[in-house]
Amino acid sequence: MHRLFRLITLLCAFLILGFTYPATAADKIRVGVLEFGTVNWELDVMQQHQLAQKYGFDLEVVPLASADASTVALQGGAVDMIVADWVWVARQRTAGADYTQFPYSTAVGSVQVKPDSGIKTLAELKGKKLGVAGGPNDKSWLLLRAYALKTQQLDLPAIANVQFAAPPLLNELIQRNELDAVLNFWHYAARLQDAGLTTVITIPQVLEGLGIKAQVPLIGWVFSEKWAKEHNDAVKGFLSASYEAKQILKDSDPEWERLRPRMKADSDAIFKALRDAFRAGIPSCFGDKEKQAATDTFRILAETGGQELVGDTKTLEPGVFWSGFSLPACTP
């Protein structure tokens, strides 16, 4: 009788707990990232501060080998979200896909040279070896080309010996004096800064010279619009966690010290350059002015890169940027 009473008591407790506190599994978001990419820093902060639990989703980080592998994984359904640029999103939407994007970072690269190179302007790249990361359709390269043509009537591919290569190789080549100048991504530029290289021009300066006055986040979180509608609360939760993680990275020096082993910073100078460049790229706002700046930037890229870059689209459709979550509008 005593055993029967215990069983009935346990069963009642189970039923009460089961019906009073239903165990609802949080939506899992599979985020595809380059295995050693800088996006991992933010995701690390999310995990360290349990932001997924706070905002009600389950985070799975899926390491990938390259940017191309990221887009393939997203298109194949192996991941739910990646970081990519909105030019890719616009082209995919024109082809019938429903990908959309939410701003991630404004951090971009720069043209750098050795102090003794004698190169202080783009015109002085004539006859020089210029290394470019990302290939002939890289957005920074196309913007630089458009800027040089508009402001100085310089056709950079015609006057310079342009060599495309992977970002780490470019850093090695210029330090071995096998290149005269390099246009590289922001985190590789930060490492060259520590090596003593000087900056000829930054991509934000290029954008300003092209008449783009507002901050333009060239990359963002990319995901399917249909998937986002089906997992609306989880996506909002993820973007809220992303925003909070960025605020932690913006304000907390101790958080960066904790992240330092992930950053592969061989010196204090590299560590600080990477930290400061990441912080400078955090988009604190995104409103109509910034969307218009993105539209104007897309037009310039379409004119310079042509169909090979943007496909059949000539304008940036409204659906390129996801409207289900928002940052504050930027003040003038």
SS3 at position 112: strand
Q: What confidence score (pLDDT) does residue 99 get? A: 97
Own/partner pairs, 66-75, CB within 8 angstroms, 24+ separation: 66/34, 67/34, 69/32, 70/32, 70/33, 70/34, 73/32, 74/32, 74/99, 74/222, 74/223, 74/224
Q: Is 62 exposed, middle or buried (0-12, 13-18, 19+ CB in 10 A)?
A: middle
Element (H, E) at 323: none
CA angle 86, 90, 95 (to 5 degrees): 145
Q: CA–CA distance from 311 to each of 154, 219, 298, 302, 322 (Å)?
A: 26, 19, 12, 9, 21
Q: What is the DSSP string of 45-85?
A: HHHHTTHHHHHTEEEEEEEESSHHHHHHHHHTTS-SBEEEE
The CA distance from 267 to 172, in Å, is 17
Q: What averages of pLDDT result for each successive group of 10 residues across the chain (332 residues)?
A: 43 35 64 94 98 97 92 97 93 93 94 96 97 91 94 95 96 96 96 93 95 91 97 96 97 97 93 95 90 92 81 82 87 69
Q: What confidence score (pLDDT) does residue 3 get? A: 46
Structure token pair of residue 36: 């050693």
The CA distance from 39 to 114, in Å, is 29
Q: What confidence score (pLDDT) does residue 9 get? A: 42
Q: CA–CA distance from 65 to each of 44, 69, 167 (Å)?
A: 18, 6, 14
- AA letter at 89: V
Q: Looking up tokens 């389950």, which residue turns up?
A: 58
Contact present, 94 and 321 (Cβ < 8 Å) = no
Structure token pair of residue 120: 């202080």
Q: What confidence score (pLDDT) does residue 25 get? A: 57
Q: Which domains does the chain have, with CATH numbers?
A: 27-105+217-320 (3.40.190.10), 110-209 (3.40.190.10)
The closest alpha carbon to 28, from 221, 220, 233, 222, belongs to 233
